[in-house]
Amino acid sequence: MILSVKNLSVNYGAIRAISNISLEVNSGETVALIGANGAGKTTILRTISGLLRGTAGEIHFDGMDISQMKPHKIVSAGLSHVPERRGIFANLTVLENLQMGGFTQKLNATDFDEVYSIFPRLLERRKQLAGTLSGGEQQMLAISRALLSRPKLMLLDEPSLGLAPQINKSIFDTIQKINKKGTTVLLVEQNAFAALKISHRAYVLETGNIVLTDKSEALLKNESVKKAYLG
Ligand SMILES: Nc1ncnc2c1ncn2[C@@H]1O[C@H](COP(=O)(O)OP(=O)(O)OP(=O)(O)O)[C@@H](O)[C@H]1O
Ligand SMILES: [Mg+2]
């Protein structure tokens, strides 16, 4: 097991956003976390990566208790987070954004070549300001930047948000490819169908509680999931 979250609660002031949830990710898996707007998906990812602190619970990553670790140390430990709305630097070039991804390691040309082989578009556009990229290209850049920290586990928050369906497909294909090459993935999505299609297991989150977990294949056929999330 690479990630274990146990009995985690997270509050914003007096408001409880996450109530006593537990989840696990095994090495090599893609695990999806699905749920409606405001269910608490982003809150969970931000707490795992140290950007928020839980009020109770434990978070273990790769054998370490990371619940009090600083975010940059968590990245160095091998956990990288592609945030909702991508968090790229609009006024830096594509290349400069990529260089930020490697801040925890010494990067060489091969590292960049590997990213460019996954996303050839970024090589063509490496001198362009990131803010001028299309939405899909910005998502590719955000994923590439995370890859350059050589993560063992990648957290992805709504990679398909705001993208056209045909671009979605290529983003989800890429996530699957990255997983097959050895990176473990925890994927948060409102696009439940696509997330369940490419994941091994999934958790269903409703207003801060995990209400269901199973193999993704089974959840795709689950009547209540179909009704609530698969339209
Ligand atoms: N900084 C904050 N201060 C107060 N409440 C917050 C804050 N951030 C989030 N919340 C609340 O916590 C709950 C969970 O929010 P969160 O962003 O984790 O949901 P989400 O599942 O990621 O939703 P979405 O699908 O819309 O991204 C929501 O009710 C939200 O209003
Ligand atoms: Mg969110």
pTM of the model: 0.95
Residue 55 near residue 147, CB atoms below 8 Å:
no
Cβ pair 148, 101 in contact under 8 A: yes
Given a cut of 90, whether residue 202 has pLDDT beyond it is: yes
Q: What is the pLDDT of residues 83-120, one digit of tens each?
A: 987 889 999 999 999 988 877 677 888 888 989 998 99
Please tell me the number of the ligand nearest to residue 38's CA: 1
**CB-based pocket (< 6 A), ligand 1:** 12, 15, 17, 35, 37-43, 84, 190
Is there a contact between 228 and 197 (Cβ–Cβ < 8 Å)?
no
- The whole-angstrom separation of Cα 61 and Cα 65 is 6
Using CA positions, which residue lies closest to atom 9 of ligand 1? 43
Token pair, residue 146, equals: 């995370």
Task: Tell me the two tokens of residue 29.
Answer: 């898996």
Q: Please give the single-letter amino acid code of residue 178.
A: I
Domains of the chain: 3-229 (3.40.50.300)
pLDDT (tens digit, 9 = 90+) per residue, 2-44? 999 999 999 999 999 999 999 999 999 999 999 999 999 999 9
CA dist 209 to 1, 32, 159, 187, 189, Å?
22, 15, 22, 17, 16
